[in-house]
Amino acid sequence: MKTVSENRSFGGVQGVYSHASKVCGVEMTFAVYLPPQASQGPVPVLWYLSGLTCTHENAMTKAGLQAHAAEFGVALVFPDTSPRGEGVANDDAYDLGQGAGFYVNATQDPWKPHFQMEDYIVQELRDLVQENFAVTESHGVTGHSMGGHGALTLAMRHPDHFVSLSAFAPIANPTQSDWGRKQLGAYLGDDESLWSGHDATLLLRDKGWKGDILVDQGASDQFLDLLKPESLASALAETRTPSVFRMREGYDHSYFTVSTFGRDHVAWHAERLKS
């Protein structure tokens, strides 16, 4: 693991690091914020999964989560959204390829050799963070848009890995959306029966979630038709999953929405991670 940068932030340290990923077969970059409490002993971890076109840097610099993480004594992990670099498959469209890994393990060429983002997040990077930073084994996960999709699906697919779960404007029903059908078809193939395991709405009905879920969705989000929040809200009600689902009047799909409600989410996770 290489240190790219480290900066003091709210009494803690915001670091950026890189490592040679065996899972993805390329050099991967990620960021970790350690709050001041980590100097006294291990702290719980909140993973933030970013959306389409983002790297590790977007939420790290725009979401303003470090102040809340310092307040509540929680570490933050900001992974990249896909493998990158020479020799990594890509597409001219912004919503496929580099920057758009969708947090799945690709089974189809040309994506299969590098796009193994599910295993990267829940296995390789988790182990790396656990081994190299002052953190406990109590992990929560949140994310925005494609990252909200990733947070919901990875938590439900790997309930032993995560204690707490929330999302900002998640792609909630990708098997029924152009933000999903295109990517799941490219990465997983044409057999749509294989897609359901990566759809939060369908996963909730099939597997459920062991705890409660917090979701914030802007009512003025310009991508509502692609996100399909009504599908997730319906599934939460049908499965009687304890949840707080808030449609925020006037808020859109930007990081202004994430930063506005970021403290609520960090506090939500801190309460559950420390209990």
Beta bridge partners of 77: 32, 47
**Burial class of 212 by CB neighbour count within 10 A (0 to 12, 13 to 18, 19+):** middle
Q: Please, what is the end-to-end C-alpha distance for the chain in angstroms?
A: 32
Helix 65-72, helix 255-273: angle, nearest 10: 20
Catalytic residue among 139, 144, 253, 269: 253
Our answer to whether residue 5 is catalytic in this structure is no
Our answer to whether residue 39 is catalytic in this structure is no
12's enclosing H/E stretch is strand 12-20
What angle is formed at CA 97 by the lines to CA 194 and CA 140, rounded to 5 degrees? Answer: 65
Contact 231, 238 (CB under 8 A): no
Catalytic residue among 50, 145, 231, 243: 145
- Return d(Cα 159, Cα 156) in angstroms, integer: 5
Our answer to whether residue 191 is catalytic in this structure is no
Contact 120, 47 (CB under 8 A): no
Catalytic residue among 80, 199, 216, 221: 221
Active site residues: 145, 221, 253
